[in-house]
Structure 1
Amino acid sequence: MRTRRALMLAGSAVALSVALTGCGALNSILGSGSGDANRDEESGQVTESANVDVFSVKLGDCMLDTGSGTLTDANILPCTDPHDQEVYYEITMPDGDFADTDIDTASQECIGDAYTTFVGVGYQDSALDVTTLVPTKESWEQNNDRVIQCIIFDPAGQTTGSLAGAAR
C-alpha cells in the first residue's frame, strides 16, 4: 500500500490519511489490480489501459485520478489517451526509520527544480498542480518501499499527451 499526499505550500507538506474506498466501476472495466500493464519493449510506455498494483506504477506513466488516501492499485493508460495524472519525477529515500516528516520534506523536491525542468516554468507560475504517491509505514517496513512519486495534473481537467514542456 502507498499513500497519495497533496503538497501544501504554506509551511511543510501535510499527509492526507483518508482511506480510499476504491474505484469500483473502473476496476470492473479494467480488471483487478495485479501485475504490470502491457508496455512497449523499447520505450517502456504503457500500450493499453490496465488496473495495476500500485507498486507497478512507473516514471512516465499516466493514470486516471487515484483519489486520496491509501492505495493498493492504480488505473494506468497510454498518455495519448485522456488522463488525469502523470508521474514526472521520482525521489528515492535513504534507508533508515520511517518518518512522515522526512517524507514530507523530501516531497518538496516535486515542486522545485524537478518541476521547472519538466514543465518549463516554475511551480509558482504554473497553472498545473502536483500531488505525490509515497510509502506508508507498512510498505516502508515490509516492502522496503523508499520511492516518492511526483504526480502532475491539470486542475481544469483531463489532458491528452504528456505535460512535459507544457510551459503553463
Structure 2
Amino acid sequence: MSLDTTAFAPMAKKALLGAALIGAVTMSSGCGALINGIQQAQQESRGEEAPPPPDAGADSPTDEPIEDPATDVPAEEEDVAAFDISVGDCLNDESIVGEVSEVPLVDCSSPHDSEVYASTTSTATSWPGDDGIAQEAQEFCETEFTTFIGVPAGESMYQFSYYTPTQDAFDNFDREISCVVSDPGGQTTGTLSGSAQ
C-alpha cells in the first residue's frame, strides 16, 4: 500500500510580512487517513521507587531533597501520521520543510514548537490548486487564530501556519486543513489559548 506524503512550507516571519501569513503544510495518505480527533495518550511516568526514609535512629535528618528520576526524564516525541494530529496536539515541527507523512508529537506540558489550534475540511469540490488550498487555509486559520489567541494575527506576538492536503491526498478525499500556532522566539510550554498576546 502506498503512502502519500504531506508538504510543509516554513512559516513566514511577521517581521517580514507585517502579519502571520503563509506557511503551508500538506497532508496526505493513500490509505485514506483523516485527522481523527483522537488525542495522543499522556506519557506514562517511569519513576523508580523513592529511596527509603532515613533511619529513625539517625542523629541528624538530611536536608537534601529526594530526587525523583521521573521528573528528570526529557520529553518524548512520537512520530505520528500527519492525518492523525488533532486540535490540542503539540508538535516539534519547526524544522519541517517540504512533503512529510509524519510529524513529531510531544506532550503539551513539555517545550514544543507549535500547537494545533483549529482544523476544518476543505470546502472545495475539486482540487483548487496549490494556491487555492493555501488561500483557503490562510483565511480559515487567520480567523480561527483570533478566536484562539484572543487578538488578531497582525497584532499578536505569535504566528501561524497550516497543514493542507496535497493533490493526491485531496483526490483520495483526505481534505483536512490543520492550523498551528507558534512563537517565533522559540518553544513554548502549555497551551497558548486565550493568551491575548
Q: TM-score, normalised by structure 2?
A: 0.63
**Paired AA for residue 83 in structure 2:** F
Report the Cα offset of residue 13 of structure 1: 5.0
Q: Between the two proteins, what is the percent identity of the paired residues?
A: 31
User: Is the alpha carbon distance of 1:53 and 1:47 closer, same or farther for their aligned partners in structure 2, counting shifts above 3 Å?
Assistant: same
Matched, 1:78 2:107: yes
Name the residue aligned to 2:139: 109
Unaligned runs of 5+ in 2: 27-32, 44-76
Distance 2:161 2:190 in 1: 19
Report the Cα offset of residue 111 of structure 1: 4.6
Q: State which of 63, 75, 80 in structure 2 corresponds to 1:52.
A: 80
Residues 50-71 of structure 1: per-residue CA shift (max 9 Å, x gap): 2111111111110002511101
Q: State which of 146, 165, 170 in structure 2 corresponds to 1:140.
A: 170
User: Is the alpha carbon distance of 1:51 and 1:145 closer, same or farther for their aligned partners in structure 2, counting shifts above 3 Å?
Assistant: same
Name the residue aligned to 2:183: 154
User: Is the alpha carbon distance of 1:7 and 1:50 closer, same or farther for their aligned partners in structure 2, counting shifts above 3 Å?
Assistant: closer
User: Is the alpha carbon distance of 1:91 and 1:6 closer, same or farther for their aligned partners in structure 2, counting shifts above 3 Å?
Assistant: farther
Structure showing greater relative contact order (alpha-carbon pairs closer than 8 Å, 6 or more residues apart): 2
Alignment of 1:1-168 (within 5 A): 1-6=5-10, 44=39, 46-48=41-43, 49-65=77-93, 67-94=96-123, 96-98=125-127, 99-142=129-172, 144-168=173-197
CA contact (8 A) 1:46 1:61 kept: no
After superposition, the CA RMSD in angstroms is 2.8
**Paired AA for residue 84 in structure 1:** D
SS at match of 2:185: coil
User: Is the alpha carbon distance of 1:96 and 1:7 closer, same or farther for their aligned partners in structure 2, counting shifts above 3 Å?
Assistant: farther
Unaligned runs of 5+ in 1: 18-34
The size of the alignment, in residue pairs, is 143
Q: TM-score, normalised by structure 1?
A: 0.73
Residues 118-146 of structure 1: per-residue CA shift (max 9 Å, x gap): 0011111111111111100111123x111
Distance 2:162 2:185 in 1: 18
User: Is the alpha carbon distance of 1:45 and 1:119 closer, same or farther for their aligned partners in structure 2, counting shifts above 3 Å?
Assistant: farther
CA contact (8 A) 1:111 1:123 kept: no
Which structure has the larger Rg? 2
